[in-house]
Structure 1
Amino acid sequence: MFKNRIDAGQQLARILGDHDTEADVVLAIPRGGLPIGRVVANSLQIPLDIVSARKIGAPQNPELAVGAVASDGTVWLNESLIGELKLGDTYLQDQIERQRQAALDKVKRYRGERPPLEYSGKTVLIVDDGVATGATTIACIRQIKNAGAERVILAIPVAPPETIEKLQSEADEVICVESPPHFGAVGQFYESFEQVSDERAKACLDGTEDQGR
């Protein structure tokens, strides 16, 4: 479906152009969202920044998301799953603080000394390389809404239909290139889905990424 993240970003940028999407800033979810965010930001000729969240995993199954927390402490919790697993407040509060700090460390690592962009009253475009369950994406959307954004648009190359439906109740608009019904993982829809290094992530944010790669 996509050759790599640059190709996915180009396809996403074309759809955004066809929709006459107007935004004030692009926020990429690191690290995989940064190459795509750079392509989209360049296409729309608007600034690129980052927004980060971390999954809160179940005690015996860290890959199972019982919630997510953004770098500013904004939390989304899957209350039904938490009740089913009988998770206590002590576990949740400990994980919320641990993962919030990890998300904040990631923002500081990539952004450096630069101050965050202003979101109040703005139309913000959140971009990632794809979404599976949507847990961290929801936390990111809520963080930017809490920061006063007038409108939040989620733009992604690929996600399953049920996740898109869930995200439509969080974002003001969801734009997705492809929504295949049979969905295992985001990487299966890319010919090349190598891990984005810290160096490349920073280069995308700084605007020094080689867009031909």
Structure 2
Amino acid sequence: MRFPDRRTAGQELGLRLMEWASDGELFRPLVLALPRGGVPVAAEVSRALGAPLDVLVARKIGLPGRPETGIGAVVGDDPPLFDRRALTMLGLDEDRLVPDVAREREELRRRALLYRGGTSTPDVEGRTVILVDDGLATGATARAALRHLRRLDPARLVLAVPVGAPEAVAEMRAEADDVLCLRQPPDFRAVGLWYDDFDQVGDDEVVEVLNAHRAASPPGA
């Protein structure tokens, strides 16, 4: 079953997270979106939980010639995280991907400055952090983001996505304390196939959503 759009998927995901939260305690929950596609989804999750919304900017490192296929990712100033099995199977090494990493890191910095206006990423130590994206394909970007967040010592680390490849979802259970994925179709193939409307999310939309949520959040949320 397909989702009409990211917003509807986020509403459904938010309801499921509310049910999940009723069985346990969420300590100072913080919703972090993986931009750009994760932002409309995370905005609805944030509303449902009454939790602040922010972004964690990460960039996928794609296969040369096939950039849509993730073989690694970079977050912040962390070293790039690669899928070692994929590199071996494809006969690639990290030196071959240095230009790709540099390009993605530059784009990461541009987006971080645009979306966060030079402000620092919120402190996640001791909080329940819910990382949200619009889907999970290879899991490369989510894995890098989760490992980055784990080092910042959250009380609980949750990955929440509307749809994902079953094998990628299974692998993420070793990275997060909890993984919530609404649909895991065996014929997954690509995230966009499971949305009726999967238009690209632009920078302007991301900034608009984040500004609206920041304006509505109390100081120190």
TM-score using structure 2 length: 0.86
2:175 alignment counterpart: 170
Contact 1:74 1:139 (8 Å CA) reproduced: no
Deviation at 1:208, TM superposition (A): 6.2
> 1:37, 1:184 → 2: CA distance?
23
- CA RMSD of superposed structures (Å): 2.0
1:7 to 2:8 alignment: yes
Q: Distance in 1 between matches of 2:132 and 2:99?
A: 29
Q: Where do residues 201-212 of structure 1 align in structure 2 (5 Å cutoff)?
A: 201-207=206-212
| 1:148 aligned residue | 153
Residues 90/205 of structure 1: CA separation in 2 closer, same or farther (3 Å cut):
same
Moved runs in structure 1, 4+ residues, more than 6 A? Answer: none
1:1-213 matches, cutoff 5 A: 1-20=2-21, 22=26, 24-207=29-212
Unaligned runs of 5+ in 2: 215-221
Shift of 1:188: 1.4
TM-score by length of 1: 0.89
* Higher mean C-alpha displacement, 162-171 vs 48-57: 48-57
Question: In the superposition, relative to structure 1, how do residues 46 and 74 fare at CA in structure 2: closer, same or farther (>3 Å)?
Answer: farther
Identity across the alignment (%): 37
Contact 1:71 1:101 in 2 (8 A): no
Distance in 2 separating the partners of 1:72 and 1:25? 22
Paired residue secondary structure (2:21): coil
- Cα distance in structure 2, aligned partners of 1:58 and 1:196: 22
Query: 1:61-109 CA deviation, whole Å, 9 max, x = no partner?
Result: 4333331111232432111222233334422444333322322221211
Q: 1:148 to 1:72 in 2, by over 3 A?
A: farther
